Structure 1
Amino acid sequence: MQITHLDGLGPVTAVIRSIGVRHDGAHQLVTDGLYLDLSKALRNPAHDPAMRYLTGLHREVYAHVLRTPGARELIARTAVQLRALADEVPRGHLVRLTVACQGGRHRSVAVAEAVARRVWTAWGGECGVDVEHHHIDHPVLPASR
């Protein structure tokens, strides 16, 4: 697992997870909060041989995912939902978002990072945001049927 931490003046308020739903135990990581499944929503960089073995943390994969029609709007809406959820829970409680795709290396990683940055910026750096990439270092999965 790899973690990105966006530091804030206050405590970590949001935890965003990226997962690959085709990995054993992935569904056990979905506990509470919001859930966003990108399996059919965005084009998969794994289909491009030049990006197949990279991750959503690589600039070219990140850009590819965000250039997918509708991706930026999806990220913006998800960030708004996460902030709205944070406004409804008592101060000091965590809000969670799980972002899923098939393998957890490309789309979910890029979108989780983009949502985290958008939420952190909207909070003006007052609160911290952690991003956990649970399957980023797992082997690339064979194409699904």
Structure 2
Amino acid sequence: MQTTHLPGRGLVAAVISSIGICYHGAHALVTDRLYLDLGRVLRNPADDPTMRYRTGLDDDVYAHVLKTPGALTLINRTAVQLRALADEVSMGRLVRLTVACQGGRHRSVAAVETVGRLVWEAWGGAYGAGIEHHYADHPGRPRR
């Protein structure tokens, strides 16, 4: 698992995770208040052989995902929902968001990176945020 911590002056208030739902046990990771499945919403970079074995952390794969029509609207709305939920929970409690796609390497990774940064920037460094990628370092999922 790859993790990034976006520091803040206060506690970590949100953890945003990417998962690949095709992996055994991935559904056990979905215990969060917010869940977003991108499987049929955003185009899949894995369909392009030049991107298949890379991740949403690579600049061109990231850009490919975000250029999908509607991607930025969906990501911005998700960030707003996460911030609103964080405002409602008591201080010191974590708000969690899980973003899923088939393999957990492309779409969910790019979306999580963007949502995490949007939320952290909106807080102006007052709170920290954690970003987790559970399957980004796994080899590409088997093609059916």
Give the TM-score taking structure 1 as reference length. 0.97
Percent identity of the aligned residues?
69
Equivalence map 1:1-145=2 (5 Å): 1-144=1-144
Which secondary structure does the structure 2 equivalent of 1:5 belong to? strand
* One-letter amino acid of the counterpart of residue 122, structure 1: A
Separation in 2, partners of 1:138, 1:13? 28
Separation in 1, partners of 2:133, 2:98? 10
Shift of 1:141: 1.0
Any stretches of 5+ residues in structure 2 without a counterpart?
none
Separation in 1, partners of 2:67, 2:82? 22
Deviations along 1:91-114, whole A, 9 cap, x unmatched?
A: 110000000000000000000000
- The CA RMSD over aligned residues, in Å, is 0.7
Shift of 1:18: 0.2
Shift of 1:8: 0.8
Which secondary structure does the structure 2 equivalent of 1:96 belong to? strand
Which secondary structure does the structure 2 equivalent of 1:51 belong to? coil
Separation in 1, partners of 2:143, 2:73? 27
Which secondary structure does the structure 2 equivalent of 1:100 belong to? strand
Which secondary structure does the structure 2 equivalent of 1:93 belong to? coil
Shift of 1:45: 0.4
Count the aligned residue pairs: 144
Shift of 1:10: 0.8
Any stretches of 5+ residues in structure 1 without a counterpart?
none
Give the TM-score taking structure 2 as reference length. 0.98
